[in-house]
Amino acid sequence: MASNYTPPQRKTKVVFVQLGSPKNPTTKEVRKYLRSFLGDPRVVDINPWVWKIILNCFVLPFRPKKSAQLYARIWDGESFPLITNTADFTEQVRNELTTLDPSGYVEVNHAFLLSPPYVHEVYDSWEQDLANGTGATKLLVIPMFPQYSESTIASGIDALGGELAKRVKIPTFEVITNFHRTHAFIDNSVRQVDAKLKQIKDSGVEPDKLVISFHGMQKRRIVEKGDDYYRHCYETFRLIVDRLEHLDASDAVMTFQSRFGSEEWITPYTERVVEDLVKDGNKEIVIYSPSFVVDCLETTDELGHELVNEAKEWGGNVHPVECLNSNQQWCKDFAKYTFTQAEGSAQDKEDIEYQLTAADYDEMKPQKMKSDD
C-alpha cells in the first residue's frame, strides 16, 4: 500500500518575537498583562516567594490602574503601536523576501510572548504545514530586541523551551540572541537620527545634544551576574554616534530609562541627564531609544509625552526620534539580514556586522554598585 506521506522541502521558518501589549487599556487587561510579564523570573529575578508576595499584595492591586491610563494615551481604538508596527514590519519583510528569495526557501511570521498571535499558535501552524507536506525543516527565532539581556532574550528562550517541552515534533532550530552590531540596524538607526537632526536644523533650530536612551536594567545584573546588556548598549551607542553626519559624537550622551522598584539601576538616568542638560543651557535635545525597533509605551509615552512635557517645564525642548518601525529601507535591509541568517554561508554571516576595536571601549564607564564606592 503506497504511503501518502510527502517529505518536507527545504525551508526555514523565521519567527520575529516581540513582548506584546495588553489586550486593551482597561485596568483588568493591564493587570492580566502585568501579572504575566512581572511574574516571569527572568524579568524580576529576586527570591520568587518574596516577589510573589510583593507582586500580588503591593503591585497588582495598585499599578495596573496607573499603567492603564498611560496605555490609554497610545491606544488608537483598536490596537497599540507595538502590535501594529510589528505586524506591518513583518509583512514588509515578507514582501522584500519575495525578491531576494524567489524560490521561497524562507518564510517569516511574527509572534508575541504576551499577545496574540502567541508563540504556540505559530508553532501550531508549522505542525499543520508539516501535515500538509509544506512545513519548514528549520526554525529560526529572532527576538526583536537588538541587545541581549537576560530579562528579554533569555526570557524568550525560556518561553520557546517551554513550548518545545510540550511537543513531539521538534525542528532543527536556532535563536539569534542579538543584532545590535548589524549593518541593517546601525545604518538605519543612523539614517533615522540624521534625518531628524537635519529636519530640526532646516527649521532654523540648532540641536544642542543627542541623548541615546536605552531601557534600564538593575545594575546588579551587570555587576554581579555579568549580563552583556550594558556592553551591548555601549556598542550600539558608539556605532551610531560615530557615523552621524549632522552631529558631532562629542555632543551625544548615553542614558537609561524606565526604572522600576527600589534597586539601583544602570546609570546615568535619562530624565536626570536631560534636566541637567537643559539647566546647563542645552535647550534643544534630540532623543533616540535603540533598545526598541518599534514604538511602544516606553518611546511613545515615556519619552514622547512625559519627558517632552518635563523638558518644557525645565525650559527646553525634547525632539523624539521615532523607532525604525516599518521604515522601507529598514525592512529591506532586515529582509537581507534574515535571508543571510537562514541561507547564507559562514562568511556571509561574518560580513553582516560591524566590528569594534579595543580602543572603541576606552570611554565605556564601568558600572559600580554604590556599596562598592
User: In a structure prediction context, what are the per-residue pLDDT tens digits for the chain, which is 373 residues long?
Assistant: 445 656 556 899 999 999 999 999 999 999 999 999 999 999 999 898 998 999 999 999 999 999 999 999 999 999 999 999 999 999 999 999 999 999 889 999 999 999 999 999 999 999 998 888 788 999 999 999 999 999 999 999 999 999 999 999 898 999 999 999 999 999 999 999 999 999 999 999 999 999 999 999 999 999 999 999 999 999 999 999 999 999 999 999 999 998 877 789 999 999 999 999 999 999 999 999 999 999 999 999 999 999 999 999 999 999 999 999 999 999 999 999 999 999 988 888 889 999 999 999 999 999 998 866 5
Q: What pLDDT sits at residue 54?
A: 93
Structural domain of 148: 12-175
Q: How far apart are CA 328 and CA 332, in angstroms?
A: 6
Same domain, 95 and 209: no
239 with 288, same domain: the answer is yes
Q: Of 175, 210, 243, which closes a domain?
A: 175
In a domain, 97, yes or no: yes
Residue type, 65: K
Alpha helix ranges (H) inside the chain = 27-38, 48-54, 63-74, 81-100, 119-131, 155-164, 183-202, 219-223, 229-241, 270-279, 308-314, 328-343, 346-350
Same domain, 275 and 210: yes
Q: Are residues 150 and 199 in the same domain?
A: no
Grid cell digits, residue 200: 530640526
Cα(246)–Cα(134) distance, rounded to whole angstroms? 49
pLDDT computed for residue 262 by the predictor: 78
Cα separation, 116 vs 174, whole angstroms? 22
Predicted local confidence at residue 303, as pLDDT: 97
Measured CA to CA, the distance from residue 275 to residue 332 in angstroms comes to 38
Residue 6 belongs to a domain:
no
Same domain, 250 and 147: no
Q: How far apart are the first and last CA of the chain?
A: 77
- Domain of residue 191, CATH code: 3.40.50.1400
Please state the domain count of the chain. 2
pLDDT at 372: 60
Whether 197 and 161 share a structural domain: no
Do 112 and 133 belong together in one domain? Answer: yes
Pairwise CA distance, residues 287 & 132, whole Å:
49
Residue 335 lies in a domain: no
Same-domain check for residues 108 and 244? no
pTM score: 0.95
Q: Are residues 190 and 169 in the same domain?
A: no
Per the domain annotation, does 75 fall within a domain? yes
Report if residue 42 sits inside a domain.
Answer: yes
- Residue 7's pLDDT is 59
Domain boundary among 127, 156, 175: 175
Whether residue 158 is found in the same domain as residue 253: no
Tell me: do 79 and 191 sit in the same domain: no
Cα Rg, the chain, nearest whole Å? 22
Q: What residue type is assigned to position 303 of the chain?
A: L
- Tell which of 148, 175, 202 closes a domain: 175
In a domain, 336, yes or no: no
Pairing of strands 172-175, 138-143: parallel
Note whether 219 and 133 are same-domain residues: no
CA distance linking residue 246 with residue 196, whole number of Å: 9
